[in-house]
Structure 1
């Protein structure tokens, strides 16, 4: 049995803060949940757009074993150096870029030590795939066909798919298409956790969106004033990362032999948070 936690899109400094504070409490023999492997989507970790070195290192210190990305993958120049250092930074960027020279990899296989009754257990193999959707998104290669090619490879173990997409129909279609061939398909990008958590008939766990990890009193991470002004005026308006308490949203899974044994939504909300005299950073 492989116990996996997937954490939805980390957004800005508040998301990094709650991740750093709460993630270490969830694993290890004395952890609240004793997860064997933690995957974190870091698509919005750097001020709401992309991933930089400080954010990546913070997530790894907190206990992330793998980081996935999305449509803002290339927003920071740091990402090229991070993707080039695959040993230090276990990052999986979206698989379905058509250019074969795209930096980084769209899937990775990990050998994961497990624990049974608090004692070291067998090593389980886990493959993490990250794909972008195409509906209402930038033009990329077909994610369905891209995953088909990966699944032709041997010894993938249990396969986890993070589909970073806008349309709920596209996420659900991919999950049903892959049902019985992968252990889990979990959506990201829209930042609101959905209530359709389930295991499909073939044994694939699915949730349309895991939700996000970032400021609770916000509009999907942004301070409300920016989005409100854009809707009122129909003009561009600078968005700022919201302040205050943060929440962590994710999905907890138990996987075995490339099938899901269980799936449940996971949520943690800070009781309170006040910025110190030195302010905050994004």
Structure 2
């Protein structure tokens, strides 16, 4: 089983990069399952139904979210029926719409996809370890392949989660920081790990936002409206993970970065 995961899709630039690059990657890499984080997909804040369907059409089988899940109010109108759109499972248990995990059939193989959010330097949420334990225990009864998108700021928290569930999940891949890390590895019991897969969108912004606003905020500390960068190059952060379908153990993990400084050759 080969899983392709695409990092945080950022605004219209991210949508464009996703549409033109993901179909190419799928033709060349032949993943059986493609997952993407879409929490920044609509104008950099949340996702609406139009963009959700757009990413699906371009190749996303499952879309995960994060701390900007509710920033676009329209999501509340369709997340309850969108079974392939999952938000962090540890959001205020029972108090918000949507689901935190899903099970998809890939040919005859079931794959569990779980989304959780960290608590270090993030907005309040329930304990991702406790919530993760409960859901992973449920998923283990149905499948040996479990993929986790851990949306968090602290690399230590993401790494701790991966080690805690080593051997019980196939992969723990981090999102949120928009900067791809260089620590892809397979832990001793077979869990693939990457602290952060990076982002998909503007390459010449600062984490996808216009440079001037971000630099100004650091220099003067005044309230600033951040807007997604619309000019310059584009980037795509991704990771490819091969998993043994019987055991659920990861066999290989390779991070992938595509941008003007790292062109992709077929």
TM range (shorter): over 0.9
**How far apart, in 2, do the equivalents of 1:104 and 1:239 lie?**
27
Aligned to 1:36: 32
**How far apart, in 2, do the equivalents of 1:197 and 1:146 lie?**
25
Q: Does 1:255 align with 2:243?
A: yes
**How far apart, in 2, do the equivalents of 1:138 and 1:184 lie?**
24
**How far apart, in 1, do the equivalents of 2:260 and 2:82 lie?**
33
| Preserved contact between residue 18 and residue 270 of structure 1 (Cα < 8 Å) | no
SS of 1:32's equivalent? Answer: helix
**How far apart, in 1, do the equivalents of 2:218 and 2:72 lie?**
28
**How far apart, in 1, do the equivalents of 2:51 and 2:19 lie?**
10
Provide the aligned length of Structure 1 versus Structure 2. 256
Q: Does 1:184 align with 2:171?
A: yes
Match for 2:151 among 135, 139, 164?
Answer: 164
| Preserved contact between residue 184 and residue 260 of structure 1 (Cα < 8 Å) | yes
**How far apart, in 2, do the equivalents of 1:191 and 1:205 lie?**
19
Aligned to 1:146: 131
Aligned to 1:103: 97
Gaps of 5+ in 2: 262-266
**How far apart, in 2, do the equivalents of 1:12 and 1:227 lie?**
17
The Cα of 1:86 is off from its aligned counterpart by 2.5
Match for 2:196 among 194, 209, 217?
Answer: 209
The Cα of 1:146 is off from its aligned counterpart by 0.5
Q: Does 1:230 align with 2:230?
A: no
The Cα of 1:58 is off from its aligned counterpart by 1.1
TM-score by length of 1: 0.88
Where does structure 1 differ by over 3 angstroms across 4 or more consecutive aligned residues?
Answer: none
Q: Does 1:16 align with 2:15?
A: yes
Aligned to 1:135: 120
| Preserved contact between residue 5 and residue 238 of structure 2 (Cα < 8 Å) | yes
| Preserved contact between residue 93 and residue 126 of structure 2 (Cα < 8 Å) | no
SS of 1:59's equivalent? Answer: helix
Aligned to 1:56: 52
Return the index of the structure with the highest Cα Rg: 1
SS of 1:160's equivalent? Answer: strand
Match for 1:47 among 43, 53, 58?
Answer: 43
**How far apart, in 1, do the equivalents of 2:29 and 2:156 lie?**
32
TM-score by length of 2: 0.93
Residues 129-157 of structure 1: CA deviation (Å, up to 9, x unaligned): 00010001111110001011012221133
Gaps of 5+ in 1: 114-122, 272-282
| Preserved contact between residue 124 and residue 157 of structure 1 (Cα < 8 Å) | no
| Preserved contact between residue 193 and residue 210 of structure 1 (Cα < 8 Å) | yes
**How far apart, in 2, do the equivalents of 1:55 and 1:25 lie?**
20
Residues 144-199 of structure 1: CA deviation (Å, up to 9, x unaligned): 01011012221133000000001111011001101011000000000000000000
The Cα of 1:270 is off from its aligned counterpart by 5.7
